[in-house]
A and B are shown apart, each in its own frame.
Chain A
Amino acid sequence: MSRTTRSKPQPYVEEAHTIKPRNVSFQWEEVPLHYIPDEPLATQFWNVMHLVIPIGERLMAGALSEALPFIADERLREEAIGFIGQETMHADSHEGYHEHLAAHGIDVEPVVRNASLMLQKILSDHGLKGRAKKEWLAERLAFYAAAEHFTAVVGQWLLDAEGLDEAQMHPMMLDLLRWHGAEEVEHRDVLFDVFQHVDGSYARRARWALLASAGLLGTWLVSLNHLMAQDPSRRWWKPWPLQIAGAVRRGLVPSLTIFATEIPVYLKPGFHPSSMGTLDSAIRYLATSPAARAAEQGA
């Protein structure tokens, strides 16, 4: 890394927000296949999250643990350490739904296999050594930082999504999504700051913003297509892209246009995730979430 430029260290001017995993658990026995009643498309949209996201979270937690030796800033280390546990708890919680979804007759295996192996093949270190290994770590951190931007946007969307309440989404599933969304908002700075600390190259950030956006959107649509083909509702007269538009309009899923519109936001020079608004709604949700609250009862 020959052309590294170093800027003068800037002092912290604000308190740190403690990032710590919460010991949540969810029970799915009573959750129907269409946990958003009569909304197969929106339900399958969130099923993609259950199936695809856990592997990415485990890989991201692994990348962060590999980055720890390069994090000299104690505050950022603390945040990274808390982040690792939050991500593995997200992965455990979403994976816990796989078996139940399969019991409803959905063949989840091809989606999980393709998404998992795709991400593992792309993001493993391919036997790289020395300088190339460190550079590939920086590349991967740039990917995770971009992905975390999208999860923070979707997390905030989930916290604000009154449409899901109005549609009477099953409360336990809604709690899983909102607890996850709130923690994504709560820790939205961490991966970005780790990337900036370890590498900070704008070119890397820009390349991976595009790759992450295309990869996430593509993975989501391909997986959704696979799940919709199996959905027993058989609304064959209505192509599912039209069903997506309807679900977006009813406030049940975020608009997929974020994969385009958030790129210039994320790539604005001087961007920092803390500029995305306050943590208030995330903090308030976590103080009402049945799962997050139950985690505190054992104290």
Chain B
Amino acid sequence: MPGLILAGDPVPDVALHPGVDLFVRTVDAYRAIAVSPLGRALTRPRPVRRTGFDQDLVVHDLRLEAEGVISLTLRAPDWSTLPFWRPGAHLDVFLPSGRQRQYSLCGDPDDPTRYRIAVRRIEDGGGGSREVHDDITVGDQLTVRGPRNAFRIAPASGYLFVAGGIGITPILPMVRTAHRQGVPWRLIYTARSRASMPFLDELARYRSGEVVVLPDDEHGIPDVAALVDGVAEGHATYLCGPPQMAAAAHRALAARGGRSELHTERFSARPVVDGTEFTARLARTGTSVTVAADETLLAAVRRARPDVTYSCQQGFCGTCKVAVLSGDVDHRDTTLLDSQRPDSMLVCVSRGTGELVLDL
């Protein structure tokens, strides 16, 4: 598993086919000119810069949408137009405490000046949702990043939407889109109890499709496989709910075979489980970082080395591989070969006990 190759990596000196060798020499000559004063004279850099991924927005409105769920409507201080988004998009919200949380946009994509998000209070979570519920009021300023879409809706001849609990938030604008386009749709909306389900009133306005509300306390725990198996031939399924729900739906449709589309949101890195604090010494940087029990080694390393390479953050793409000079590694990746494990690790998921010394 070689991962990526850097321009400074050694190039093996092996004979090439004469024609290939000629091409290499031609590009060598080109390079000599390209990085010479003549090359500079022929090249005018014109870097293109973009702004506005991060924005400071004002909390315009706060509403209690259901038991434990509030919605926040955000706008620019001067009511200027916000970046366009499609159903499925989300925002990063930087909370006053410094916490960064992602929330799906659940307002109207055709409203150019306002974004709406909804937040369920999770008492035993990381504290982000409690902060939103307890500390944020109308008129506050919040920094947001995005919108970004990891669950983009594509045209289809019909839709089955499945929402589990607060998973209704990206689905709601999808329902609105299907309704406006006059495409057949059906929504299955599950949650603990009816009182905890936001937006039932808004959904009631979309009469072109069917909304099936299945609170657990009235209908029992839903059988996800049976729900998605009922999708009409040629219709696309968009599902947002807990990770187990999405995985069950993927298994059910894979078992069924065929070509029906199943779209689920692509989430970022999963939270660290069973982590303990340890330290990592970055030998080449000459510094040490402390890795908290609930953060990844990658996150800690990035505080000292912001440009370290990584990608999937789930231990499979191999791009964050780092040589380990000493220490005991708790390997949690799925890609390194056993022969690589004694002296290298993937810093996005794997951890250490005590002190690790890394070649960074």
Contacts and interface: CB of A to CB of B under 8 A. Distances in A.
A196 B47 CA distance: 5
A3 B53 contact: no
A73 B8 contact: no
Contacts of A125: 7-8
Interface in A244-276: none
Interface stretch (A31-39, A42-50, A151-159, A279-287): A279-287
A82 B314 CA distance: 12
B145 A74 contact: yes
A78 B243 CA distance: 23
Interface stretch (B184-192, B211-219, B245-253): B245-253
Contacts of A15: 83-86, 89, 146-149
B287 interface: no
Interface stretch (A61-69, A97-105, A228-236): A61-69
A6 B48 CA distance: 7
Contacts of A82: 311
Contact of A5 (B9, B44, B247): B44
A203 B30 CA distance: 14
B63 interface: no
Contacts of B81: 13
A72 to B, nearest CB: 8
Contact of A85 (B43, B89, B312): B312
B34 interface: yes
B53 A74 contact: yes
Contact of A296 (B2, B52, B264): B264
B137 interface: no
B45 A136 contact: no
Chain B contact residues: over half helix, strand or loop, or mixed?
loop
Nearest to A126: B31
B42 interface: yes
Contacts of B52: 11-12
Interface stretch (B16-24, B165-173, B223-231, B350-358): B16-24
Interface in B148-172: 148-150, 152, 154-156
Contacts of A2: 40
A202 interface: yes
A124 B51 contact: no
A284 B319 contact: no
Contact of B261 (A85, A139, A288): A288
A49 B150 CA distance: 28
A199 interface: yes
B234 to A, nearest CB: 12
Interface string B121-155: 00000000000000000000000011111101011
A126 B10 CA distance: 10
B292 interface: no
A135 B49 contact: no
Contacts of B24: 118, 121-122
A65 B6 contact: yes
A65 B27 contact: no
B311 A14 contact: no
B316 interface: yes
A293 B11 contact: no
B16 A58 contact: no
B246 A293 contact: no
Given A81-B310, A136-B34, A288 B243 contact: no
Contacts of B30: 207, 211
A59 B147 CA distance: 31
B286 interface: no
A48 B2 CA distance: 20
B334 A23 contact: yes
A84 interface: yes
Contacts of B200: none
B311 A16 contact: no
Given A124-B9, A137-B7, A69 B307 contact: yes
B195 interface: no
A89 interface: yes
B273 interface: no
B74 interface: no
Contacts of A207: 30, 34
A203 B42 contact: yes
B275 to A, nearest CB: 20
A86 B40 CA distance: 33
B251 to A, nearest CB: 5
Contacts of A202: 44, 46
Top 10 A-B residue pairs of the complex, sorted by shortest distance between their CB atoms: A85-B311, A18-B150, A85-B317, A11-B52, A125-B7, A287-B261, A61-B4, A75-B53, A9-B49, A65-B309
Interface of B: 1-9, 11-12, 14, 16-17, 19-20, 23-24, 27-28, 30-31, 34-35, 39-40, 42-54, 81, 83-86, 89, 145-150, 152, 154-156, 236, 243-244, 246-247, 250-251, 253-254, 259-264, 266-267, 307, 309-312, 314, 316-319, 334
16 contacts: A3-B45, A13-B84, A17-B152, A66-B6, A68-B309, A73-B49, A89-B316, A92-B1, A120-B11, A123-B7, A125-B8, A136-B34, A200-B46, A207-B30, A222-B19, A287-B262
Given A65-B309, A279-B154, 18 more contacts: A3-B45, A6-B47, A9-B51, A12-B83, A16-B53, A68-B307, A73-B50, A73-B51, A113-B16, A118-B16, A139-B31, A200-B47, A203-B44, A207-B34, A280-B155, A293-B254, A299-B243, A299-B250
